[in-house]
Amino acid sequence: MGLYSLITGRRGPSGFGSATTAEEVTQGIDATHLTAIITGGAGGIGMETARVMAKRGVHVVIGARNIGAAENGKAEILRQNTNARVTLLHLDLSSVKSIRAFVRDFHALHLPLNLLINNAGVMFCPYQLSEDEIELQFATNHIGHFLLTNLLLDTMKTTAKTSGEEGVNITVNSVHPGLILTNLFQHTALLMRFLKFFSFYLWKNIPQGAATTCYVALHPTLKGVTGKYFADCNEVTPSKLARDETLAQKLWDFSVKLINSVSKKNYLGFEDTI
């Protein structure tokens, strides 16, 4: 999927492309048996992902730092679909304490967990430290999701076993949503609008931006597919650095040590090897 496909919206091998929306890639899919956690679901791509998944029957659990915005989003989802199942829980991914509280709150709901969509993120924010004294962008985008995923991993394994899947069928994939002007660019909004004026043909709208996430999460052709990278709803080859297993191991080890240094004890409860 190159620049030409991005600009023209030409569909790739999956039958979808850069112009495809989240509703289109999930058309006809019945996902009423699934429960999904979506981080950063109070706005932007996360909100659209939550809306479309709820429309397809998924019980959506939105983890959001801004509960007020999440309440507004939930109200809009219910306005469009009165049968939607949407649960809101507070989650600040820059805080180890908040992440652990979120996991406890989720477990208290006694729900299965079929899908974990690590969507939330910040970008270009002024330098500042989290309450755990970790650089805020790194804490939110990587460390927070790293800890959250590992704390929920046993729940996903249990769900896979009890849902009748073969063994413990856990798949993990990454997606690139494309260029979308959302609140992610709030710290550089004027610059981004200026750049968008000269590169408008490269940008997507929010329904298009949520398409790849929804495609990878729900489309039946992706059942059992793992360890892949997707853009514009098609598998693509990630960068050389992303495929460096030695570097990945170093990042994993560093992440474990950093979290443990914050807590002074092993918060994770899992082996510090991949």
Q: Taking residues 187-216, what's their average pLDDT? A: 72
pLDDT above 90 for 187: no
Q: What is the pLDDT of residues 208-258, one digit of tens each?
A: 999 999 999 999 999 999 999 999 999 999 999 999 999 999 999 999 999
Over its C-alpha atoms, the chain yields an Rg (Å, rounded) of 18
Q: What is the pLDDT of residues 44-96, one digit of tens each?
A: 999 999 999 999 999 999 999 999 999 999 999 999 999 999 999 999 999 99
Mean pLDDT of all residues in 9-36: 93
pLDDT of residue 165: 72
Share of the chain above pLDDT 70, in %: 83
Per-residue model confidence (pLDDT) at position 11: 81
Type of residue numbered 24:
E
Residue 53 · residue 217 · CB < 8 Å: yes
